Amino acid sequence: MSFLHLVAFAAVVLGFCFVVLSLACGLYYLAELVEEYTVYTRKIIKAMTATVVGIHVLLWIVDRLPFLLLAFSILCHGVYTMNLKTFPFISLTSVPFIASCGMLCIFKRHH
């Protein structure tokens, strides 16, 4: 192994560290924005959920993907949306949160 290989390896490690640090800073900034603008964040999450549900319907109509899987996914998104009623505060003992966790376990078991 030459000195150039060691320099290249060190550069890759350093580059990876910078990417991870940049990602962490970006996520921290997004968390601050969510904390600051909870009402706007709730609207964005609802719009994104509606978009995903619309895409699911289009996948069923256009591509004829399995109806039951898409219906289950739409149901999951509906339950996830119920958690937004008390956003950003989510009770770990609330029915929507427990149902969300249960649906996630059901989905993971079948895939």
Mean pLDDT, residues 24-53 taken together: 92
pLDDT of residue 14 exceeding 80: yes
Contact assessment for residue 87 and residue 38, using Cβ atoms and an 8 Å cutoff: yes
Report how many domains make up the chain: 2
Same domain assignment for residues 57 and 30: no
Angle at 70 between CA 48 and CA 47, to 5 degrees: 10
pLDDT of residue 107 exceeding 80: no
Domain extent at residue 8: 1-36
Same domain assignment for residues 84 and 32: no
Report if residue 107 sits inside a domain: yes
Residue 93 is given by DSSP the state T
Can you tell me the distance from the alpha carbon of 80 to that of 103, in angstroms, rounded to the nearest whole number? Answer: 10
Angle at 24 between CA 20 and CA 25, to 5 degrees: 120
Same domain assignment for residues 61 and 97: yes
Contact assessment for residue 77 and residue 53, using Cβ atoms and an 8 Å cutoff: yes
Report if residue 20 sits inside a domain: yes
Same domain assignment for residues 27 and 56: no
Same domain assignment for residues 55 and 20: no
pLDDT confidence of residue 111: 65
